[in-house]
Amino acid sequence: MTREPIKRSAIRLTLGKQYFTLKRYAAWLIGGIRYTRFKDGQSLKYQAFAHRTPLYRRLKDVDMWLQHNKVQNLRIAAGPLNGLLLRPGETFSYWQNIGKPTKRKGYKEGMVLFYGSFKPGVGGGLCQMSNLIYWMTLHTPLTVTERHRHSYDVFPDADRTQPFGSGATCSYNYLDLQIRNDTDRTYQLLVRVTDEYLEGEWRSDMPQIETYQVFEADHRMSQEPWGGYTRHNRICRHVYNAAGEWLRDEYVTENHALMMYSPLLTEPAAGESRN
Protein backbone atom coordinates (compact mmCIF):
# COMPACT_ATOMS: atom_id res chain seq x y z
CA MET A 1 0.00 0.00 0.00
CA THR A 2 1.22 3.52 -0.85
CA ARG A 3 0.54 6.27 1.65
CA GLU A 4 -1.57 9.27 0.74
CA PRO A 5 0.75 12.18 -0.22
CA ILE A 6 1.30 14.80 2.48
CA LYS A 7 1.02 18.46 1.51
CA ARG A 8 3.90 20.55 2.82
CA SER A 9 3.70 24.26 3.53
CA ALA A 10 5.62 26.70 1.32
CA ILE A 11 7.92 27.58 4.25
CA ARG A 12 8.73 23.95 4.95
CA LEU A 13 9.42 23.28 1.27
CA THR A 14 11.74 26.29 1.05
CA LEU A 15 13.66 25.43 4.22
CA GLY A 16 13.93 21.79 3.22
CA LYS A 17 15.29 22.70 -0.20
CA GLN A 18 17.89 25.02 1.35
CA TYR A 19 18.99 22.33 3.80
CA PHE A 20 19.43 19.62 1.17
CA THR A 21 21.12 22.05 -1.24
CA LEU A 22 23.74 22.97 1.38
CA LYS A 23 24.16 19.31 2.29
CA ARG A 24 24.94 18.53 -1.36
CA TYR A 25 27.51 21.32 -1.59
CA ALA A 26 29.22 19.89 1.48
CA ALA A 27 29.21 16.39 0.00
CA TRP A 28 30.81 17.68 -3.20
CA LEU A 29 33.56 19.38 -1.21
CA ILE A 30 34.38 16.87 1.51
CA GLY A 31 32.59 13.68 0.51
CA GLY A 32 35.74 11.93 -0.67
CA ILE A 33 34.35 11.12 -4.12
CA ARG A 34 36.55 11.61 -7.17
CA TYR A 35 34.34 13.38 -9.70
CA THR A 36 34.95 13.56 -13.41
CA ARG A 37 36.07 16.92 -14.76
CA PHE A 38 38.03 16.28 -17.95
CA LYS A 39 36.70 16.43 -21.50
CA ASP A 40 38.02 15.30 -24.87
CA GLY A 41 37.03 16.91 -28.15
CA GLN A 42 37.71 13.64 -29.97
CA SER A 43 35.24 10.78 -29.64
CA LEU A 44 36.49 7.54 -28.13
CA LYS A 45 36.69 4.66 -30.59
CA TYR A 46 33.86 2.33 -29.51
CA GLN A 47 30.18 3.07 -29.09
CA ALA A 48 28.73 1.45 -25.96
CA PHE A 49 25.15 2.64 -26.44
CA ALA A 50 23.27 5.46 -28.18
CA HIS A 51 19.74 6.78 -27.87
CA ARG A 52 17.65 9.78 -28.82
CA THR A 53 14.34 11.28 -27.70
CA PRO A 54 12.08 13.79 -29.51
CA LEU A 55 12.30 17.39 -28.40
CA TYR A 56 8.70 18.41 -29.00
CA ARG A 57 5.58 16.63 -27.80
CA ARG A 58 1.98 17.76 -27.66
CA LEU A 59 0.97 17.60 -24.00
CA LYS A 60 -2.48 18.16 -22.58
CA ASP A 61 -2.83 21.68 -21.12
CA VAL A 62 0.87 22.50 -21.69
CA ASP A 63 1.68 25.57 -23.80
CA MET A 64 4.23 24.97 -26.57
CA TRP A 65 6.36 27.94 -25.48
CA LEU A 66 7.44 25.81 -22.53
CA GLN A 67 8.64 23.17 -25.00
CA HIS A 68 10.61 25.72 -27.03
CA ASN A 69 12.23 27.09 -23.87
CA LYS A 70 13.07 23.54 -22.80
CA VAL A 71 15.04 23.03 -26.03
CA GLN A 72 17.03 26.19 -25.30
CA ASN A 73 17.78 24.88 -21.81
CA LEU A 74 18.90 21.52 -23.18
CA ARG A 75 21.26 23.21 -25.64
CA ILE A 76 22.94 25.12 -22.81
CA ALA A 77 23.22 22.05 -20.55
CA ALA A 78 24.68 19.96 -23.37
CA GLY A 79 27.74 22.24 -23.51
CA PRO A 80 29.43 21.23 -20.23
CA LEU A 81 28.34 17.59 -20.60
CA ASN A 82 29.40 16.81 -24.16
CA GLY A 83 32.77 15.06 -24.31
CA LEU A 84 33.10 14.35 -20.58
CA LEU A 85 35.46 11.48 -19.77
CA LEU A 86 34.51 9.06 -17.01
CA ARG A 87 37.73 7.29 -16.12
CA PRO A 88 38.08 4.21 -13.88
CA GLY A 89 37.19 5.06 -10.29
CA GLU A 90 35.58 8.39 -11.17
CA THR A 91 31.98 9.46 -10.59
CA PHE A 92 29.82 11.54 -12.90
CA SER A 93 27.54 14.07 -11.17
CA TYR A 94 24.83 15.57 -13.37
CA TRP A 95 24.51 18.82 -11.44
CA GLN A 96 28.16 19.29 -10.58
CA ASN A 97 28.99 19.38 -14.28
CA ILE A 98 26.01 21.47 -15.44
CA GLY A 99 25.97 23.91 -12.54
CA LYS A 100 22.97 25.86 -11.33
CA PRO A 101 20.57 26.84 -14.15
CA THR A 102 20.14 30.62 -13.99
CA LYS A 103 18.80 33.36 -16.25
CA ARG A 104 22.29 34.87 -16.36
CA LYS A 105 23.53 31.71 -18.09
CA GLY A 106 20.71 31.96 -20.64
CA TYR A 107 18.31 29.44 -19.14
CA LYS A 108 14.62 30.12 -19.71
CA GLU A 109 11.40 29.09 -18.01
CA GLY A 110 10.48 25.55 -19.04
CA MET A 111 8.07 22.99 -17.64
CA VAL A 112 8.86 21.80 -14.11
CA LEU A 113 6.91 18.91 -12.60
CA PHE A 114 5.69 19.88 -9.15
CA TYR A 115 3.69 17.66 -6.79
CA GLY A 116 1.73 15.92 -9.53
CA SER A 117 1.23 18.98 -11.69
CA PHE A 118 3.57 21.35 -13.52
CA LYS A 119 4.62 24.98 -13.46
CA PRO A 120 7.13 27.21 -15.28
CA GLY A 121 10.61 27.29 -13.79
CA VAL A 122 14.04 28.53 -14.88
CA GLY A 123 15.90 25.57 -16.37
CA GLY A 124 12.71 23.53 -16.72
CA GLY A 125 12.89 20.50 -18.98
CA LEU A 126 16.39 19.35 -18.00
CA CYS A 127 14.90 16.08 -16.76
CA GLN A 128 14.83 15.02 -20.41
CA MET A 129 18.64 15.07 -20.34
CA SER A 130 18.93 13.16 -17.06
CA ASN A 131 16.35 10.64 -18.34
CA LEU A 132 18.41 10.08 -21.49
CA ILE A 133 21.71 9.65 -19.62
CA TYR A 134 20.15 7.24 -17.11
CA TRP A 135 18.54 5.12 -19.85
CA MET A 136 21.82 4.90 -21.77
CA THR A 137 23.73 4.00 -18.61
CA LEU A 138 21.45 1.01 -18.00
CA HIS A 139 22.90 -0.41 -21.24
CA THR A 140 26.48 -0.23 -19.99
CA PRO A 141 28.46 -1.76 -17.08
CA LEU A 142 28.64 1.66 -15.39
CA THR A 143 27.21 1.80 -11.85
CA VAL A 144 24.36 4.18 -11.00
CA THR A 145 25.06 5.32 -7.43
CA GLU A 146 22.29 7.92 -7.18
CA ARG A 147 19.02 8.13 -9.08
CA HIS A 148 15.66 9.56 -8.06
CA ARG A 149 12.41 8.21 -9.44
CA HIS A 150 9.42 10.34 -10.34
CA SER A 151 6.98 10.29 -7.42
CA TYR A 152 4.04 11.17 -9.69
CA ASP A 153 2.92 9.66 -12.99
CA VAL A 154 1.56 12.82 -14.61
CA PHE A 155 0.78 11.81 -18.20
CA PRO A 156 -0.78 8.65 -19.69
CA ASP A 157 1.23 6.19 -21.77
CA ALA A 158 0.31 7.35 -25.28
CA ASP A 159 3.33 6.74 -27.55
CA ARG A 160 5.56 5.61 -24.68
CA THR A 161 8.51 3.63 -26.08
CA GLN A 162 10.37 2.84 -22.85
CA PRO A 163 9.18 1.08 -19.70
CA PHE A 164 7.39 3.18 -17.10
CA GLY A 165 9.88 4.43 -14.51
CA SER A 166 13.01 4.15 -16.65
CA GLY A 167 13.95 7.80 -16.22
CA ALA A 168 15.66 9.90 -13.53
CA THR A 169 14.16 13.08 -12.19
CA CYS A 170 16.45 15.96 -11.23
CA SER A 171 16.29 19.20 -9.26
CA TYR A 172 19.30 21.40 -8.54
CA ASN A 173 21.22 20.22 -6.75
CA TYR A 174 19.81 17.82 -4.21
CA LEU A 175 18.12 15.44 -6.68
CA ASP A 176 21.19 14.40 -8.62
CA LEU A 177 22.11 11.63 -11.03
CA GLN A 178 25.48 10.08 -10.19
CA ILE A 179 27.25 7.32 -12.11
CA ARG A 180 30.51 5.61 -11.09
CA ASN A 181 32.93 3.84 -13.39
CA ASP A 182 33.86 0.57 -11.67
CA THR A 183 35.41 -0.88 -14.84
CA ASP A 184 38.97 -0.78 -16.15
CA ARG A 185 37.88 1.24 -19.20
CA THR A 186 37.39 4.93 -19.85
CA TYR A 187 33.93 6.03 -20.94
CA GLN A 188 32.90 9.23 -22.66
CA LEU A 189 29.53 10.99 -22.65
CA LEU A 190 28.40 12.65 -25.87
CA VAL A 191 25.16 14.66 -26.04
CA ARG A 192 23.78 16.98 -28.72
CA VAL A 193 20.57 18.78 -29.57
CA THR A 194 19.42 18.67 -33.20
CA ASP A 195 16.35 20.31 -34.72
CA GLU A 196 14.16 17.37 -33.68
CA TYR A 197 15.96 15.23 -31.12
CA LEU A 198 18.05 15.14 -28.00
CA GLU A 199 20.75 12.60 -28.86
CA GLY A 200 23.32 10.90 -26.68
CA GLU A 201 26.01 8.21 -26.59
CA TRP A 202 28.24 6.48 -24.13
CA ARG A 203 31.50 5.63 -25.88
CA SER A 204 34.54 3.71 -24.61
CA ASP A 205 38.19 3.14 -25.38
CA MET A 206 37.53 -0.62 -25.51
CA PRO A 207 34.65 -2.63 -27.00
CA GLN A 208 31.75 -3.79 -24.83
CA ILE A 209 32.12 -7.39 -23.63
CA GLU A 210 28.47 -7.54 -22.55
CA THR A 211 25.23 -6.08 -23.92
CA TYR A 212 22.00 -5.34 -22.08
CA GLN A 213 18.28 -5.40 -22.72
CA VAL A 214 16.16 -3.45 -20.24
CA PHE A 215 12.65 -4.64 -19.39
CA GLU A 216 9.98 -4.15 -16.74
CA ALA A 217 8.47 -6.79 -14.47
CA ASP A 218 5.56 -6.98 -12.04
CA HIS A 219 3.83 -3.94 -13.48
CA ARG A 220 0.54 -3.11 -11.78
CA MET A 221 -1.87 -0.26 -11.09
CA SER A 222 -3.67 -0.20 -7.75
CA GLN A 223 -6.46 1.80 -6.16
CA GLU A 224 -5.45 2.80 -2.65
CA PRO A 225 -7.81 2.86 0.36
CA TRP A 226 -7.65 6.66 0.40
CA GLY A 227 -9.05 6.80 -3.16
CA GLY A 228 -6.05 7.52 -5.37
CA TYR A 229 -4.41 5.25 -7.94
CA THR A 230 -0.78 4.22 -7.81
CA ARG A 231 1.52 2.52 -10.26
CA HIS A 232 4.32 0.07 -9.51
CA ASN A 233 6.93 -1.96 -11.39
CA ARG A 234 10.48 -3.29 -11.30
CA ILE A 235 13.13 -2.44 -13.87
CA CYS A 236 15.47 -5.32 -14.76
CA ARG A 237 17.82 -6.20 -17.57
CA HIS A 238 18.95 -9.24 -19.54
CA VAL A 239 22.73 -9.49 -19.88
CA TYR A 240 24.30 -11.12 -22.95
CA ASN A 241 27.90 -11.87 -23.93
CA ALA A 242 29.58 -10.57 -27.08
CA ALA A 243 28.20 -13.55 -29.03
CA GLY A 244 24.64 -12.64 -28.06
CA GLU A 245 24.23 -15.52 -25.59
CA TRP A 246 22.19 -14.91 -22.44
CA LEU A 247 24.31 -14.78 -19.28
CA ARG A 248 22.00 -13.61 -16.47
CA ASP A 249 19.20 -11.30 -15.43
CA GLU A 250 19.87 -8.34 -13.14
CA TYR A 251 17.55 -6.29 -10.94
CA VAL A 252 17.95 -2.54 -11.49
CA THR A 253 15.34 -0.66 -9.44
CA GLU A 254 11.67 -0.43 -8.55
CA ASN A 255 9.16 2.37 -9.00
CA HIS A 256 6.13 3.55 -7.05
CA ALA A 257 4.23 6.59 -8.32
CA LEU A 258 0.94 8.34 -7.65
CA MET A 259 -1.11 8.47 -10.85
CA MET A 260 -2.51 11.88 -11.74
CA TYR A 261 -4.99 10.51 -14.30
CA SER A 262 -7.50 7.71 -14.46
CA PRO A 263 -5.89 4.35 -15.32
CA LEU A 264 -8.78 3.78 -17.75
CA LEU A 265 -7.93 6.89 -19.78
CA THR A 266 -7.02 5.85 -23.33
CA GLU A 267 -7.15 9.05 -25.42
CA PRO A 268 -3.78 9.43 -27.18
CA ALA A 269 -4.18 13.22 -27.41
CA ALA A 270 -4.08 13.53 -23.66
CA GLY A 271 -0.64 12.10 -23.11
CA GLU A 272 3.05 12.17 -23.71
CA SER A 273 5.78 9.66 -24.36
CA ARG A 274 7.64 10.06 -21.11
CA ASN A 275 10.16 8.16 -19.07
Q: What's the pLDDT tens digit per position in 90-102?
A: 999 999 999 999 9
The closest alpha carbon to 77, from 200, 192, 180, belongs to 192
pLDDT at 268 (0 to 100): 41
Q: Where are the beta strands (DSSP E) in 115-196?
A: 117-122, 143-146, 152-153, 178-180, 187-193
**CB-CB neighbours of 263 under 10 Å:** 15
* Interatomic CA distance for residues 183 and 205, integer angstroms: 12
Range in 22-26, 125-129, 130-134, 265-269 with the lowest mean pLDDT: 265-269
The percent of residues above 70 in pLDDT, for the chain, comes to: 86
Q: What is the mean pLDDT of residues 175-204?
A: 97
Binned at pLDDT 50, 70 and 90, residue 267 comes out as very low
* Helices within the chain (DSSP H only): 10-30, 64-81, 94-98, 127-137
Q: Is the pLDDT of residue 269 over 60?
A: no
Q: Which residues pair with 258 in a beta bridge?
A: 152, 230
Give the integer Cα–Cα distance in Å for 229 and 263.
8
27-79, pLDDT tens digit by residue? 999 999 999 989 999 999 999 999 999 998 766 666 788 889 999 999 999 99
Q: How far is CA 115 from the centre of its chain?
A: 17
Q: 6 pLDDT band (50/70/90 cuts)?
A: low
Q: Are 169 and 156 in contact (CB under 8 A)?
A: no
pLDDT per position as a tens digit, 227-248: 788 889 999 999 999 999 999 9
- The pTM of the full predicted model, rounded to 2 decimals, is 0.88
What pLDDT was estimated at residue 104?
Answer: 96
Identify the bridge partners of residue 119 per DSSP, sorted by sequence position: 112
Average pLDDT along the chain: 88
Stronger pLDDT, 263 or 130, i.e. the higher one: 130
Q: What is the distance between the alpha carbons of residues 121 and 112, in angstroms, rounded to a whole number?
A: 6
Banded model confidence at residue 135, pLDDT cuts 50, 70, 90? very high
